[in-house]
Amino acid sequence: MASGNFPEDVVREILLMLPVKSLLRCKSACKSWYTLITKPSFKSAHFNSNATLKRSHCILVKRVLPEHVPPTESVLSFFNDKINGDDHVPPTEIIIPHFNHFLQMVGPCNGIVCLTDHRDIFLCNPSIRDFKVLPAPSFNYPHGLFSRTLGVGFGFDTHSSEYKVIRIAELYEDDDGDYMFHSVNVEIYDLSTDSWREIYAIVPYVWYFPSSELLFNGHFHWWADDEDHGGESMLSFHISTEIFQQIRLPDVCAFPDGNERAFLVLNESIALLLFNPSQQTYLDLWLMTEYGIADSWTKQFTIGPLVQIEQPLLFWKHELLLEKFNGQLVSYNLKSQALKEFQMYGAQESLRAVAYSESLVSIKGGSDIN
């Protein structure tokens, strides 16, 4: 290799500009490049570099292929930057075996997504096809108590530089076939130790819906009961300090009010969408203009009517990606108000989408997807 003619810092600058795919090949080119590329400092510099940010920001869509009944695998598809461009160019796809229909996709964080059906939890970096099955928590609950997962979260602790997965679970008694609530438990998985620990926190009952689990601003969020005031709230968990807070939802939220909810991100604020999936779906958009301040929820506008919308998926630049009843991916342009249909389908309710940037970060203890 001719790298002997270039100072190492020049080589490094050049490599920092390359996409992940090329870097994976460069790793095998020679020993000095291998050493350079596998350094954690290089990986993180690469992820944050301007070249990466400009090029690799794309949409990652998870779905189960509609013809698979019963479903046995999920497909992750990368949409490139310009979704107004060609539909007939097939997006890059990765098939993930063993996963099922109900997989939730949360994150991403430094290129890693967390996939879970609340029974099993997986971490995956689709850029380098790395994935890991988390060990099941193995706590000895008091005799006679069962646990059920209410919510799962995932994020990166910037202080300790480690990845964490959070599991909120209810403990209950099954007393002769009769359910009796006992308590809500919080358990945290540290990737660095590959193990779970319990933390003692008083948290309200958490309830799941697709897109209720949201990573934003160094916090993870779930939909929870507002036990002090009645009504609904977002339960927020600070990944680094592991402190919980509650942020009330606007008073218009009064379950059961016939509406579904979705937590998304728009223009660097948390967005709440209230919508009624039907022949004519309207979506009311609220923004939390100041993070953490319940009084800052402001209604922006109403989208619709749109025909047969199942759920909103993701705000992407000026578009809102949605899933229709028939499992088709569509997008609504917030400026032109035009609805665009993609030739991409999933089994009903199986679609998820996140804004994604590729990375080289490997999951410690993870393995290649074959």
Partner 1 sequence: MANNTRSLFFLLITLTLVSLPPYHEFAFDFFKLVQQWPPTFCKLHRCPRPIIKTFTIHGLWPDNYTTFLDSCTGNSFHMFKNTAFVQNLTVRWPNLDYYSNNRRFWSHEWEKHGTCSENLYPQEAYFNLTMQLYDRLNLLEVFAKSNISPGASGNQLLSRLNNSLVAYTGKIPDFKCRPGPSTTTLIIEVVTCYNSSGTAIDCPVSQLSNSCKTQSLTGISSFETHYPTQGLQMSR
Q: Which residues bind partner 1 (CB under 8 A)?
A: 70, 100-102, 117-119, 148, 176-181, 205, 207, 209, 223, 225-227, 230-232, 254-256, 258, 260, 276-280, 282, 305, 310-311, 325, 347-349
Distances 96 to 76, 80, 117, 120, 355 between C-alpha atoms, Å: 7, 20, 14, 14, 19
Least CB distance to partner 1 at residue 138 (A): 19
How far apart (Å, rounded) are the C-alpha atoms in residues 55 and 46?
Answer: 12
Name the residue nearer to partner 1 (CB basis): 9 or 176: 176
Least CB distance to partner 1 at residue 144 (A): 13
Least CB distance to partner 1 at residue 153 (A): 18
Least CB distance to partner 1 at residue 246 (A): 13
Name the residue nearer to partner 1 (CB basis): 187 or 349: 349
Least CB distance to partner 1 at residue 190 (A): 27
Least CB distance to partner 1 at residue 278 (A): 5
Contact 153/139 with Cβ under 8 angstroms?
Answer: no
Sequence-distant (6+) residues with CB within 8 A of 128 are 20, 24, 359, 360, 361, 362
Name the residue nearer to partner 1 (CB basis): 23 or 106: 106
Name the residue nearer to partner 1 (CB basis): 184 or 353: 184
Sequence-distant (6+) residues with CB within 8 A of 264 are 211, 214, 270, 271, 273, 312, 314, 315
Contact 285/271 with Cβ under 8 angstroms?
Answer: yes
Name the residue nearer to partner 1 (CB basis): 218 or 231: 231
Token pair for 276: 């009624």
What are the helix (H) ranges across the chain?
A: 8-16, 20-27, 31-37, 40-48, 50-56
Name the residue nearer to partner 1 (CB basis): 190 or 349: 349
3-state helix, strand, coil in the chain (%, to 5): 15, 50, 40
Number of separate helices (H) and strands (E) present in the chain: 5, 26
- Using the structure block, give the residue that is written with the tokens 């070249």: 51
Token pair for 23: 């870097």
Least CB distance to partner 1 at residue 102 (A): 5
Least CB distance to partner 1 at residue 346 (A): 12
Name the residue nearer to partner 1 (CB basis): 47 or 345: 345
288-323 burial, b at 16+ Cβ within 10 Å, e below that, comes to: beeeeebeebeeeeebbebeebbbbbbbbeebbbbb
Please count the residues of the chain.
Answer: 370
Name the residue nearer to partner 1 (CB basis): 239 or 264: 264
Cis peptide upstream of residue 70 (ω within 30 degrees of 0): yes
Name the residue nearer to partner 1 (CB basis): 150 or 344: 150
Token pair for 350: 């199986």
Least CB distance to partner 1 at residue 73 (A): 15
